[in-house]
Amino acid sequence: MEDWPDPGTPVRMVVKTWAGLDEHTGVALPSAGPDLVTIKLVNGYNLSFPRSYVEEFQVIGELPESEEEAPEPIEQDASLPLVHLIHTGGTIASKVDYSTGAVTARFEPSELLQAVPELRSIARIRAVKLGNMWSDDIRPRHWNRMLKATEEAFAEGAVGVVITHGTDTLHLTAAAMAYGWSGSGGRPPGRIVLTGSQRSPDRGSSDAPENLISAVYWAANGPQSTGYRDSSVVITHATSSDGSCAVLPGCACRKYHSSRRDAFKSINQGPLAHVELGVEGPRIVMEELDPQDARTEAISPAMFDDSVRIAQFVSDGHLHSDMVSSAIGLGYDALLFHGTGLGHLPISDPQDDSPENTKLRLLLEDYCQEGGVAVVVTQAVHGPVHLDVYSKGRVQQSIGMIGNGSLCPPGSALVKLHFLLSRDKSHDSVSEGWDMDLLGENPPSVRN
């Protein structure tokens, strides 16, 4: 079908299916594969058919030229609480580029207010644009910029801050906000919320509006931050249907599904609350929590040393000593191992047929004896690192590996390790900090 139109052209086509002829209208996209034609439907989904299935097609017009216009000023109610909306990018602030079919981060913050007018009845919004970044491109230097932006927001009188963020590393940034503001024992002056969406705002199934409404409502009306578990929170859909959004502790979250709307879960602890979205407007339903006294309000957050480098390794049959040795030789500040089960590494050779295991044990022993920082977390979704149960776990402790007893999930553990190294890179200091429950990432009530 040599005359198939260029990407971005609106088309109507008739295709053969097992049930007979079927008609579809959409926008032509680049082919999804050999001998396929692909279109994007008006609901945002893509369809592909073998070229031989296409009975006929018709170009129904050219896409109108879009003119970028500055958004009109939005009048807001001065009596409402001030909430800063800090925009970093991601699907929650994106549109579909119909010339390519790709989701591109190109919403301006003001467009979010226009797209979700309910926000204007909840809070007085000040939009701040830090960038249009996909979350997998975010580095610790960007955590620092977000921490600084939250500090400036509170200095300007904001009662809460909402950070819009791509979902793939949202849980890491949430942990960074938590450790930055409360890792040293304080609390932020107001509420900090991170939220994202799994589906772009111009799709009918988008979760962006409800997530934004819930996040802004919590930022404006939630309980006072104590600095424990609630220093930063993640708000996404609690279920795959509409009407309820979970408020999760930013220090203990994990993205556990790549595409579902309820992509996030709290690990080794429950949610803080839910924001219910009914016909009468949002309302907060708190979970039963251990009472916490509010910590002293921090004047400013602690920043991360963005020169810190951490090498991560997965414990399995392909973990070899030369990989670890390379990181040590390159001067990485710490090694973080994602151990199997209770936190184990392949360091034993009971059959005398795997000398690479012995090499790894000897390398780690020398590294730790020389003051190197080697931390282990568990690959399992729930449960503690428990190195007292099996002999190899006791060996890992004896050679100086850190991590026994921790409930901190891997993402939060990476951020906690970076936070501790930013304060003091010595083995003893990191080990002491690792055993502590700094802000709810390692709750004693669960450990005991």
pLDDT tens track, the chain, 448 positions: 567 888 878 888 898 877 788 888 888 888 877 888 888 776 566 778 888 888 888 888 754 454 555 556 677 889 999 999 998 876 665 565 555 555 554 455 566 677 778 888 999 999 888 887 888 889 999 999 999 999 999 999 999 999 988 878 999 999 999 999 999 999 999 999 999 876 555 554 566 788 889 999 999 999 999 999 999 998 876 565 678 899 999 999 988 877 666 777 889 999 999 999 988 889 999 998 888 889 999 999 999 999 999 999 999 999 999 999 999 999 999 999 999 999 999 999 999 999 999 999 999 999 999 999 999 999 998 999 999 999 999 999 999 999 999 999 999 999 999 999 999 999 999 999 999 999 999 988 665 4
Burial of 207 (0-12, 13-18, 19+ CB in 10 A): buried
Q: Which two tokens stand for residue 99?
A: 């010339």
Cβ neighbours of residue 80 closer than 8 Å, sequence gap 6 or more: 121, 122, 123, 124, 220
Known catalytic membership, residue 9: no
* CA dihedral of 203, 205, 206, 207, whole degrees rounded to 10: 180
Catalytic residue among 255, 265, 392, 416: 255
Among residues 309, 314, 315, the alpha carbon closest in space to that of 328 is found at 309
pLDDT of residue 432: 97
pLDDT of residue 64: 46
C-alpha to C-alpha distance for 408 and 382, rounded to whole angstroms: 9
Q: How far is the CA of 10 from the CAs of 17, 95, 306, in angstroms?
A: 22, 17, 47
What are the φ/ψ torsions at residue 325 (nearest 5 degrees)? -60, -35
Within 10 angstroms of residue 314's Cβ, the number of other Cβ atoms is: 11
Among residues 115, 116, 91, the alpha carbon closest in space to that of 102 is found at 91
C-alpha to C-alpha distance for 373 and 369, rounded to whole angstroms: 10
C-alpha to C-alpha distance for 263 and 95, rounded to whole angstroms: 20
pLDDT of residue 109: 56
String of DSSP letters for 339-358: EBTTTB-S---TTS--HHHH
Cβ neighbours of residue 329 closer than 8 Å, sequence gap 6 or more: none
User: Domains, the chain, ranges and CATH?
Assistant: 10-59 (2.30.30.520), 82-286 (3.40.50.1170), 310-447 (3.40.50.40)
pLDDT of residue 119: 87
Known catalytic membership, residue 91: yes
Q: Tokens 């339903």, residue?
A: 285
Catalytic residue among 9, 164, 167, 378: 167
Q: Which amino acid is at 383?
A: G
Within 10 angstroms of residue 317's Cβ, the number of other Cβ atoms is: 9
Known catalytic membership, residue 255: yes
Are 236 and 246 a contacting pair, CB within 8 Å? yes
Give CA 225 to chain center in angstroms: 21
pLDDT of residue 6: 82
Catalytic residue among 38, 91, 173, 378: 91
Q: Which two tokens stand for residue 354?
A: 């795997």
Known catalytic membership, residue 129: no
Q: Which two tokens stand for residue 448?
A: 């005991």
Coil, helix or strand at residue 363: helix
Q: What is the pTM of this model?
A: 0.82
Catalytic residue among 150, 168, 236, 262: 168
